[in-house]
């Protein structure tokens, strides 16, 4: 597969839809086995390992999250949270067939709700994608919240 | 209507041997009195001196609800000032940290103050001639706090003259802070990055009590730690555990594990879990670290420092530290039903970066608003805050392993599932709530 710009855009939009539809096991399939989901704590944070982030998760931790969301004794998901992504049209920042490297940039608004409480988060998602065994996969999804360092309430699903 | 103000008996009636009244968590009046008495009579954590290394550096925070800042003065000492202009009350700094140079300048009318708080200059000063300004409160500048103590980098302050001095207040509990600091081959910590900030709709004391609640991890965290365990075992469960698995798996330890780990209490409401071992005891050794510790301290002392694996140490009223992880959590009261938790991490100066990597990982896995472990806990606190509205029972139980003898000996070691530390906190709560109350006085 040689992805076009439209393929990348479609991928990012489909990814958000899987989360909104709570199809989390399918969503996990979008990640490469060494994929990382990163949500930094600080504005324009570059350090990944030697400072605090909100999330820096490999597949083991992401699988844990997904399995936990369906757990019988996951009390913080009784009742379950719901979420909705409103994406700006993703920009394609890089198409590099030679290095199998594709990057997109997607400003978003994200709503998560449970019981009567609703939170609104806004920010920018940066996807680093690669073709693995004929399909686009996420090598890295970096999510920067506009107010990443604010005192947050629970964020239980996936921005 | 006020029930508790200047009513020492009414305050005392909220605490029984093994239970406390729900007003302690629900009443806005009690919350106001905590701000007025408890948070002014106790030594409250301000920050770490590595946050303000240079002259003029400042860091702003709160004691209870009161805005304060710490600043490095021109003589290199650290001062703590109330963060309000003596003129109209404007907060002089509102950013969390920065450098103010040689003086603070109020953004409203340009009154300026030296970094010890004293008034430096007022524009159009002649307008105050013969007005009695030198006798006014305003002429005293930004009020400094009289009681400030720097314990090996950790800055605490106390607003009131009432209450104990620093050493008497903390007593033997400083051994936990010391152990965290001694884990640096140079005996020095540095704050790393911003704190996680996590807003809870519950009373601040529920979070503090949870720090020594060893009967909840295997229950409330079954969803998170239990899932990690299930996935790890499903994937074979052998070989070296990834760092994240090492951090989370011990939350699923048995009751027996927690019973045997022990709880120690100290006078004035301080205490810790993990006397004999803890969930932090079995981390994989980081290459090169022990060697650097031996070089710095000698082998026997290095071993003694690293064999101490205390779990959570509570510094009354609202701090928890984890020595083996190098983290500090601050439970900041906002309202009777609102608390902001700040989770800070430290670098062990002179130690390999791998230790900081574990510290940062632990912080995001356990303390973040995005943490599955955090989600488990918040759910329980907020259900309790809501459940306490029920008139069916106005008391919260803290009777587990209660022994009347504990009241006479605050410094003791217990079975690790006792609620003795929670009771210890409430004895301190009663003491520091009533210390500055004038019986029957009009507010």
We report the CATH number of the domain holding residue A16 as 3.10.450.50
B149: tokens are 């103590």
B223/A149 touch (CB, cutoff 8 Å), yes or no = no
B74: tokens are 């021109």
pLDDT above 60 (res B442): no
B345/A152 touch (CB, cutoff 8 Å), yes or no = no
A152/B380 touch (CB, cutoff 8 Å), yes or no = no
* Cα–Cα distances in angstroms (integers) from residue B259 to residues A129, B214, B272, B410, B413, in the given order: 48, 8, 13, 19, 12
Structural domains in chain B (count): 2
The whole-number pLDDT of residue B165 equals 97
A56/B364 touch (CB, cutoff 8 Å), yes or no = yes
Q: How far apart are CA A70 and CA B255, in angstroms?
A: 26
Q: What CATH number corresponds to the domain at position B91?
A: 2.102.10.10
Query: Is A156 part of a structural domain of the chain?
Result: no
* Cα–Cα distances in angstroms (integers) from residue B82 to residues A137, B142, B166, B340, in the given order: 53, 6, 20, 20
The whole-number pLDDT of residue B206 equals 98
8 A C-beta contact, residue B178 and residue B313? no
Query: Is B236 part of a structural domain of the chain?
Result: yes
CA-based nearest residue to B306, from B269, B332, B264, B277: B277
Query: Is B160 part of a structural domain of the chain?
Result: no
A150/B197 touch (CB, cutoff 8 Å), yes or no = yes
The whole-number pLDDT of residue B440 equals 56
Sheet holding B338-348, edge to edge: B189-200, B338-348, B327-335, B319-322, B313-315, B271-273, B263-265, B412-414
Q: How far apart are CA B141 and CA B104, in angstroms?
A: 10
Does one domain contain both B127 and B62?
A: yes
The whole-number pLDDT of residue A23 equals 98
Does one domain contain both B266 and B146?
A: no
Dump pLDDT digits (tens) for B378-409. Answer: 999 999 999 999 999 999 999 999 999 999 88
Domain extent for B72: 45-151
CA-based nearest residue to B158, from B321, B39, B320: B39
Q: What CATH number corresponds to the domain at position B327?
A: 3.90.380.10
Query: Is B183 part of a structural domain of the chain?
Result: no
The whole-number pLDDT of residue B132 equals 96
What ipTM, to 2 d.p.?
A: 0.97
Does one domain contain both B296 and B402?
A: yes
Q: How far apart are CA B133 and CA B262, in angstroms?
A: 59
pLDDT above 70 (res B275): yes
Q: How far apart are CA B258 and CA B213, in angstroms?
A: 10
Query: Is B269 part of a structural domain of the chain?
Result: yes
By mean pLDDT, which of A3-7, B12-16, B438-442 is the weakest? B438-442
Measured between beta carbons, the chain B residues lying within 8 angstroms of A64 are: 224, 227-228, 231, 372
Does one domain contain both B313 and B420?
A: yes
- Select from A41, A68, A149 the Cβ nearest to the Cβ of B224: A68
Does one domain contain both B209 and B147?
A: no
- Given B151, B179, B200, the domain boundary residue is B151
Query: Is A155 part of a structural domain of the chain?
Result: no
The whole-number pLDDT of residue B371 equals 97
The whole-number pLDDT of residue B235 equals 85
* Residue B207 main-chain phi, psi, to 5 deg: -70, -40
Mean per-residue pLDDT, B40-46: 98
Q: Where does B214-274 have alpha helices with state H?
A: 217-220, 225-234, 243-248, 255-261
pLDDT above 60 (res B246): yes
B428: tokens are 């301190």
Q: How far apart are CA A11 and CA A78, in angstroms?
A: 31
DSSP state of B442: -
CA-based nearest residue to B216, from B378, B369, B26: B378
Mean per-residue pLDDT, A8-13: 98
What's the full length of chain A, in residues?
159
Measured between beta carbons, the chain A residues lying within 8 angstroms of B360 are: 49-53
CA-based nearest residue to B145, from B117, B165, B120, B166: B117
Q: Which residue of B has its CA nearest to A62?
A: B228
Q: In angstroms, what separates the C-alpha of A139 from chain B's closest C-alpha? A: 20
The whole-number pLDDT of residue B441 equals 58
Dump pLDDT digits (tens) for B114-150. Answer: 999 999 999 999 999 999 999 999 999 999 999 999 9
Q: Which residue of B has its CA nearest to A76?
A: B379
Q: How far apart are CA A64 and CA B232, in angstroms?
A: 9
By mean pLDDT, which of B55-69, B200-214, B242-256, B333-347 is the weakest? B242-256
The whole-number pLDDT of residue B443 equals 45
Task: Give me the percent of chain A exceeding a pLDDT of 70.
Answer: 100
Dump pLDDT digits (tens) for B65-85. Answer: 999 999 999 999 999 999 999
Domain extent for A49: 5-145
Please report which helix (H) or strand (E) contains residue B275, including its range.
none
- Select from B242, B360, B378 the Cβ nearest to the Cβ of A154: B378
**Residue B198 in contact with partner chain A when CB distance is under 8 A:** yes
Dump pLDDT digits (tens) for A88-116. Answer: 999 999 999 999 999 999 999 999 999 99
Q: How confident is the model at residue B62 (pLDDT cuts 50, 70, 90)?
A: very high
Query: Is B175 part of a structural domain of the chain?
Result: no
Query: Is B12 part of a structural domain of the chain?
Result: no
Angle at B315 between CA B429 and CA B70, to 5 degrees: 105
Does one domain contain both B118 and B266?
A: no
Query: Is B161 part of a structural domain of the chain?
Result: no
Strand partners, B156: B45, B149
Dump pLDDT digits (tens) for A18-46. Answer: 999 999 999 999 999 999 999 999 999 99
Q: Count the neighbouring beta carbons within 10 Å of the beta carbon of residue B214.
A: 28
* Cα–Cα distances in angstroms (integers) from residue A79 to residues B84, B201, B405, B429, in the given order: 44, 18, 44, 36
Region of B396 (left: φ > 0; alpha: ψ -120 to 50; beta: rest) is: beta
Query: Is A152 part of a structural domain of the chain?
Result: no
Query: Is B5 part of a structural domain of the chain?
Result: no
Structural domains in chain A (count): 1
A155/B379 touch (CB, cutoff 8 Å), yes or no = no
The whole-number pLDDT of residue B439 equals 64
**Residue A71 in contact with partner chain B when CB distance is under 8 A:** yes
Q: What is the mean pLDDT of chain B?
A: 96
Q: Which residue of B has its CA nearest to A151?
A: B197
Q: How far apart are CA B246 and CA B363, in angstroms?
A: 13
Three-state secondary-structure class, residue A35: strand
Does one domain contain both B378 and B231?
A: yes
Q: How far apart are CA B313 and CA B282, in angstroms?
A: 18
Query: Is A159 part of a structural domain of the chain?
Result: no
Query: Is A99 part of a structural domain of the chain?
Result: yes
B344: tokens are 């800070």
Does one domain contain both B207 and B147?
A: no
């Amino acid at each position: 597969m040689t992805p076009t710009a439209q393929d990348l855009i479609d991928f990012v939009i489909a990814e958000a839809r899987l989360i909104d539809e709570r199809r989390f096991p399918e969503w996990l399939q979008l990640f490469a086995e060494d994929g990382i989901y990163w949500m930094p704590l600080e504005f324009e944070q570059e350090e990944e390992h030697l400072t605090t982030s909100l999330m820096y998760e490999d597949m083991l931790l992401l699988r844990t999250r997904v399995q936990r969301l369906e757990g019988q004794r996951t009390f913080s998901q009784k009742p379950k949270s719901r979420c909705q992504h409103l994406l700006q049209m993703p920009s394609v920042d890089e198409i590099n067939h030679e290095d199998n490297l594709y990057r997109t940039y997607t400003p978003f608004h994200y709503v998560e709700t449970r019981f009567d409480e609703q939170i609104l988060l806004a920010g920018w998602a940066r996807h680093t994608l690669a073709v693995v065994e004929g399909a686009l996969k996420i090598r890295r999804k970096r999510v920067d919240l506009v107010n990443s360092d604010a005192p947050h309430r629970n964020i239980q699903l996936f921005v | 209507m006020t029930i508790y103000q200047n009513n020492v008996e009414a305050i005392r009636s909220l605490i029984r041997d093994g239970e406390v009244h729900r007003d302690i968590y629900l009443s806005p009046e009690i919350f106001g009195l905590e701000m007025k008495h408890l948070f002014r009579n106790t030594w409250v954590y301000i920050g770490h001196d590595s946050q303000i290394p240079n002259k003029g550096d400042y860091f702003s925070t709160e004691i209870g609800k009161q805005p304060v800042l710490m600043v490095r003065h021109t003589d290199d000492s650290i001062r703590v000032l109330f963060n309000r202009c003596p003129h109209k009350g404007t907060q002089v700094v509102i950013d969390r940290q920065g450098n103010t140079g040689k003086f603070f300048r109020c953004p409203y009318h340009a009154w300026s103050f030296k970094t010890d708080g004293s008034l430096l200059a007022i524009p159009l000063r002649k307008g105050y001639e013969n007005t009695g300004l030198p006798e006014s409160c305003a002429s005293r500048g930004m009020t400094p706090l009289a009681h400030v103590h720097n314990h090996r980098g950790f800055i605490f302050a106390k607003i009131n003259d009432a209450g104990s001095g620093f050493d008497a207040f903390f007593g033997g509990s400083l051994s936990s802070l010391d152990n965290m600091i001694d884990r640096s081959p140079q005996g020095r910590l540095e704050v790393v990055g911003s704190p996680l900030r996590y807003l809870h709709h519950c009373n601040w004391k529920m979070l503090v009590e949870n720090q020594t609640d060893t009967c909840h991890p295997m229950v409330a965290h079954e969803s998170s730690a239990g899932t990690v365990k299930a996935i790890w075992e499903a994937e074979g469960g052998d070989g070296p555990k990834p760092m994240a698995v090492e951090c989370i798996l011990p939350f699923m330890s048995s009751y027996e594990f927690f019973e045997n780990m022990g709880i120690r209490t100290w006078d004035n409401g301080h205490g810790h879990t993990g006397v004999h071992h803890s969930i932090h005891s079995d981390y994989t050794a980081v290459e090169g670290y022990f060697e650097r510790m031996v070089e710095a301290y000698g082998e026997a002392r290095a071993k003694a420092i690293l064999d101490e694996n205390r779990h959570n140490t509570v510094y009354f009223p609202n701090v928890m530290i984890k020595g083996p992880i190098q983290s500090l959590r601050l439970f900041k009261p906002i309202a009777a039903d609102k608390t902001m938790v700040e989770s800070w991490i430290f670098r062990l100066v002179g130690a390999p970066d791998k230790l900081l990597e574990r510290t940062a990982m632990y912080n995001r896995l356990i303390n973040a608003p995005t943490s599955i472990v955090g989600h488990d806990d918040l759910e329980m606190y907020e259900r309790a805050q809501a459940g306490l509205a029920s008139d069916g029972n106005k008391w919260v139980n803290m009777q587990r392993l209660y022994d009347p003898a504990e009241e006479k000996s605050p410094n003791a070691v217990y079975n690790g599932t006792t609620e003795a530390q929670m009771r210890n906190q409430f004895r301190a709560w009663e003491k520091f709530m009533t210390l500055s109350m004038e019986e029957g006085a009009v507010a």
